Amino acid sequence: MKKEWQILSPDARLVENLCRDIKCHPAVASILVNRHIFSAAHASNFLNTSLNHLNSPFSIKDMDAAVERIVAAILRKEKILIFGDYDVDGITATTILLKFFRRIGARVSYYIPHRMTEGFGLKKHHISNVALPNAINLIITVDCGSEGHDAVAAATDAGIDMVITDHHMISGIVPRAVAVVNPRRDPDPSGFGDLAGVGVAFYLLICLRKKLRDANFWKFRKEPNLKKYLDLVALGTLADMVPLTRENRILTKTGVKLIRSTRRRGLNALIAVCGIDKHAIDADDIAFYLAPRLNASGRMDHASIAVELLIAEEDQQAREIAHSLDRLNEARRNIENKVLIQILDHLKKNPDLLRKNSLVLSDRNWPLGILGIVAARIMKQFYRPVVLVTTADGIGKGSARSIPGINLHEGLSACEDHLENFGGHSMAAGLNIREENIEPFKTRFEHVVSRMTSPLDFIPKITIDYRLDFADISDRLMDELELLKPFGVGNHEPLFMTENVGIASSKQVGGHHRQMVLKQKTGETEKRFNAIQFNAGNTGFETKYFEKIAYRLRWNRWNGRKNAQIVIEET
Q: Is residue 429 a part of any domain in this protein?
A: yes
207-225: per-residue pLDDT in tens?
A: 999 999 999 999 999 999 9
277 and 380 in a single domain? The answer is no
CATH number at residue 501: 2.40.50.460
300 CB-contact burial (10 Å; exposed 0-12 / middle 13-18 / buried 19+):
buried
Query: C-alpha 68: how far from its chain's center?
Result: 31
142 and 215 in a single domain? The answer is yes
Contact present, 89 and 236 (Cβ < 8 Å): yes
- Is residue 516 within a helix (H) or strand (E), and if so which, with residue range? strand 513-522
Q: Is residue 18 a part of any domain in this protein?
A: no
549 and 437 in a single domain? The answer is no
State which of 220, 237, 258 marks the end of a domain.
258
State which of 258, 293, 310 marks the end of a domain.
258
What residues contact 549, with CB distance under 8 A and at least 6 apart?
497, 498, 501, 518, 566, 568, 570, 571
Q: Is residue 43 a part of any domain in this protein?
A: no
Host domain of residue 448: 353-458
In order of 142, 193, 406, 428, 454, the CA distances from 411 in angstroms are 26, 20, 8, 11, 15
64-111: per-residue pLDDT in tens?
A: 999 999 999 999 999 999 999 999 999 999 999 999 999 999 999 999
Q: Tell me how many domains the chain contains.
A: 4
165 and 269 in a single domain? The answer is no
pLDDT of amino acid 539 = 60
Average pLDDT score over the chain:
95
253 and 270 in a single domain? The answer is no
Q: Is residue 38 a part of any domain in this protein?
A: no
218-259: per-residue pLDDT in tens?
A: 999 999 999 999 999 999 999 999 999 999 999 999 999 999
206 and 287 in a single domain? The answer is no
What residues contact 330, with CB distance under 8 A and at least 6 apart?
none
Residue 116 has pLDDT above 90, yes or no: no
CATH number at residue 196: 3.90.1640.30
482 and 543 in a single domain? The answer is yes
Q: What angle do CA 436, 440, 446 make, to 5 degrees?
A: 140
Q: Whole-model pTM above 0.85?
A: yes
Q: Is residue 550 a part of any domain in this protein?
A: yes
pLDDT above 90: percentage of residues in the chain: 88
pLDDT of amino acid 188 = 85
429 and 511 in a single domain? The answer is no
493-552: per-residue pLDDT in tens?
A: 999 999 999 999 998 887 789 999 999 988 888 999 999 999 887 666 677 889 999 999
What residues contact 334, with CB distance under 8 A and at least 6 apart?
none
Alpha helices in 175-310 (DSSP H): 197-214, 230-239, 246-259, 265-274, 283-285, 291-300, 304-310
DSSP classification of residue 418: G
372 and 511 in a single domain? The answer is no
206 and 77 in a single domain? The answer is yes
CATH number at residue 396: 3.10.310.30
> Quick count: other Cβ atoms within 10 Å of Cβ 354?
11
Question: What is 316-385 written as a DSSP string?
Answer: HHHHHHHHHHHHHHHHHHHHHHHHHHHHHHHHHH-GGGGGSS-EEEEETT--GGGHHHHHHHHHHHH-S-
Q: Is residue 101 a part of any domain in this protein?
A: yes
318 and 446 in a single domain? The answer is no
Q: Is residue 428 a part of any domain in this protein?
A: yes
State which of 242, 258, 274 marks the end of a domain.
258
Contact present, 256 and 283 (Cβ < 8 Å): yes
pLDDT of amino acid 7 = 96
Q: How confident is the model at residue 139 (pLDDT cuts 50, 70, 90)?
A: very high
- Is residue 521 within a helix (H) or strand (E), and if so which, with residue range? strand 513-522
Alpha helices in 393-531 (DSSP H): 408-413, 438-452, 475-482
Q: Is residue 543 a part of any domain in this protein?
A: yes
Query: C-alpha 29: how far from its chain's center?
Result: 27
491 and 408 in a single domain? The answer is no
